[in-house]
């Protein structure tokens, strides 16, 4: 059986905003429209039962991330039902978290999350001009101030030290890394998880001009200088991972390094799918051939299947470029969605290959004084 590290639980198929780069709604896959708006009581019970069984059959703990759409569209009453059911099946040392745009954070929501030991990560791309370039409402209006209001409410809660898990930010390579970093420090976040913009060889990410260009790598290399010069830095996962891997350690999240992470997605109707970021490759790319659902199948049987094992192996790159690269142990080949190309499918280096090498070279130069790597 593939050991699971993260269950991404889709609790709402709708979203209260319309991010221009969103892989769920704006990259060609419209399967969300066929899903129930919210996870039902019956599906909550089925998921909780299956997660409880997974817990007894797997020694490794796993995390549960409530996702969407926008998970807080559930509202306080339905969220309480969900969290109570999950915590009945899963003890408190198993991480439950919510990934939210922050706009619907309320005192009632925060009290429930504190009660059921559920942390909150907020999506925020930077100061207003950067954030509102993509993270807008359905009529094009900016969302920055409402997101920041939610973060301030989160920070003011008595249990904020536990509740505030940090920020998730999508990189804008045209932004100023100094401005972005200083803004996030001023927000008071414990950490920032910077993400590459979704894209592939058929459709390059916004801001990237070619496979060989290094716009994102340049941005991250500049951020690294700022990060290392700060005597009291906020944690930045992508930089910490690459530094740790360069020094011989292991990465702690999918997309960097050669450690495999067991990831499964459960949709609002109980359907079990692959990593949902694959939606950006083509419509249905995240779907298994077998129509698995927690109402009709056991998770431990799904995770023991050959089809699930094959999807799990997709994390490892198969292109000759990656297989022969001396930096594979650090880079890891990147996220599968960034390798997609019509015809060769995922058997390609990441569209961010040269960005990764540029950043790795910068880290090695700082740590060891080495010249440019391959």
Q: What is the 3-state secondary structure (H, E, C) of 273-287?
A: ECCHHHHHCCCCCCC
- Over 50: is that where the pLDDT of 253 sits? yes
Which SS3 state, helix, strand or coil, does residue 272 take? strand
- Over 60: is that where the pLDDT of 109 sits? yes
Which contiguous run of DSSP H or E holds residue 149?
A: helix 144-156
Phi first, then psi: what are they for 165, rounded to 5°? -80, -20
The predicted pLDDT at position 28 comes to 65
CA distance linking residue 289 with residue 273, whole number of Å = 10
371: confidence class by pLDDT, cuts 50, 70, 90: low
The predicted pLDDT at position 295 comes to 98
Residues 276-290: tens digit of each pLDDT: 888 888 888 889 999
- Over 50: is that where the pLDDT of 53 sits? yes
Residues of the chain with CATH 3.20.20.70: 6-313
- Locus of tokens 């995770």: 303
The predicted pLDDT at position 373 comes to 47
Query: In a 10 Å sphere around its CB, with 0-12 CB exposed, 13-18 middle and 19+ buried, how is residue 67 labelled?
Result: buried
Mean pLDDT across the chain, nearest whole number?
94
- Over 60: is that where the pLDDT of 372 sits? no
The predicted pLDDT at position 30 comes to 74
Average the pLDDT over each of 61-65, 66-70, 240-244, 256-260 and give the range with the smallest value. 256-260
- Over 60: is that where the pLDDT of 182 sits? yes
Residues 267-302 as b/e (b if ≥16 CB within 10 A, e otherwise) read bbbbbbbbbbbbbbbbeebbbbeeebbbeebebeeb
The predicted pLDDT at position 159 comes to 98
CATH match of 6-313 with 3.40.50.11540? no
Higher pLDDT, 371 or 53: 53
Average the pLDDT over each of 224-238, 277-291, 359-373 and give the range with the smallest value. 359-373
Q: Pick from 24, 132, 15, 119: which is nearest to 65 by CA? A: 119
CA distance linking residue 34 with residue 95, whole number of Å = 29
Average the pLDDT over each of 78-82, 164-168, 178-182, 276-280 and give the range with the smallest value. 276-280
For the segment 51-67, the average pLDDT, to the nearest whole number, is: 96
CA distance linking residue 281 with residue 344, whole number of Å = 12
Which SS3 state, helix, strand or coil, does residue 222 take? helix
> Is the four-CA dihedral 232, 366, 169, 326 of positive or negative sign?
negative
How do 63-67 and 96-100 pair as beta strands? parallel
- Over 80: is that where the pLDDT of 161 sits? yes
State both tokens at 343.
């015809």
CA distances for 305 relative to 58, 166, 275, 290, 340, angstroms: 15, 35, 16, 10, 24
CA atoms within 13 A on the CB side of 173: 19
The predicted pLDDT at position 17 comes to 84
For the segment 96-109, the average pLDDT, to the nearest whole number, is: 97
For the segment 71-78, the average pLDDT, to the nearest whole number, is: 97
State both tokens at 22.
């969103």
The pTM score is 0.93
Cβ atoms 254, 263 nearer than 8 A: yes
Residues 289-317: tens digit of each pLDDT: 999 999 999 999 999 999 999 999 999 99
CA distance linking residue 251 with residue 279, whole number of Å = 24
Cβ atoms 72, 120 nearer than 8 A: no
CA distance linking residue 45 with residue 49, whole number of Å = 6
The predicted pLDDT at position 27 comes to 61
Higher pLDDT, 310 or 27: 310
Cβ atoms 52, 89 nearer than 8 A: yes
For the segment 215-226, the average pLDDT, to the nearest whole number, is: 98
The predicted pLDDT at position 374 comes to 45
DSSP class of 15: -
The predicted pLDDT at position 206 comes to 92
61: confidence class by pLDDT, cuts 50, 70, 90: very high
24: confidence class by pLDDT, cuts 50, 70, 90: confident
């Amino acid at each position: 059986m593939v050991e699971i590290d993260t269950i991404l639980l889709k609790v709402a198929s709708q979203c209260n905003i319309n991010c221009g780069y969103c892989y769920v709604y704006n990259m060609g896959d419209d399967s969300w429209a066929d899903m129930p708006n919210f996870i039902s009581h019956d599906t909550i019970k089925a998921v909780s039962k299956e997660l409880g069984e997974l817990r007894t059959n797997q020694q490794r703990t796993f995390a549960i991330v409530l996702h969407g759409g926008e998970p807080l569209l559930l509202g306080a009453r339905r969220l309480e039902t969900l969290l109570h059911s999950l915590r009945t099946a899963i003890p408190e040392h198993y991480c439950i978290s919510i990934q939210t745009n922050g706009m619907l954070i309320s005192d009632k929501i925060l009290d429930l999350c504190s009660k059921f030991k559920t942390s909150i990560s907020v999506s925020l791309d930077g100061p207003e001009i950067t954030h509102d370039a993509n993270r807008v409402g359905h009529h094009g209006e900016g969302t920055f101030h409402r997101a920041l209001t939610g973060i301030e409410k989160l920070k003011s809660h008595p249990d904020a030290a536990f509740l505030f898990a940090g920020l998730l930010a999508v990189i804008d390579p045209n932004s100023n890394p100094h401005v972005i970093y200083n803004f996030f420090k001023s927000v008071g976040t414990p950490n920032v998880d910077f993400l590459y913009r979704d894209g592939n060889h058929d459709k390059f990410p916004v801001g990237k001009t070619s496979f060989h260009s290094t716009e994102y790598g340049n941005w991250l290399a500049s951020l690294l200088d700022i990060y290392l010069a700060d005597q009291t830095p906020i944690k930045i996962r992508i930089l910490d991972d690459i530094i740790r891997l360069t020094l011989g350690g292991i990465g702690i999240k999918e997309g960097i390094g050669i450690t495999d992470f067991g990831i499964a997605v459960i949709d609002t109707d109980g359907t079990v799918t692959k990593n949902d970021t694959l939606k950006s490759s083509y419509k249905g790319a995240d779907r298994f051939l077998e129509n698995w659902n927690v109402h009709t199948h056991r998770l431990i049987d799904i995770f023991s299947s050959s089809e699930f094992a094959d999807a799990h192996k997709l994390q490892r790159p198969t292109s000759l470029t990656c297989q022969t690269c001396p930096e594979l142990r650090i880079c890891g080949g990147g996220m599968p969605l960034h390798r997609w190309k019509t015809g060769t499918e995922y058997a390609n280096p990441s569209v961010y290959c040269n960005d990764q090498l540029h950043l790795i070279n910068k880290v090695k130069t700082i740590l060891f004084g080495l010249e440019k790597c391959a």
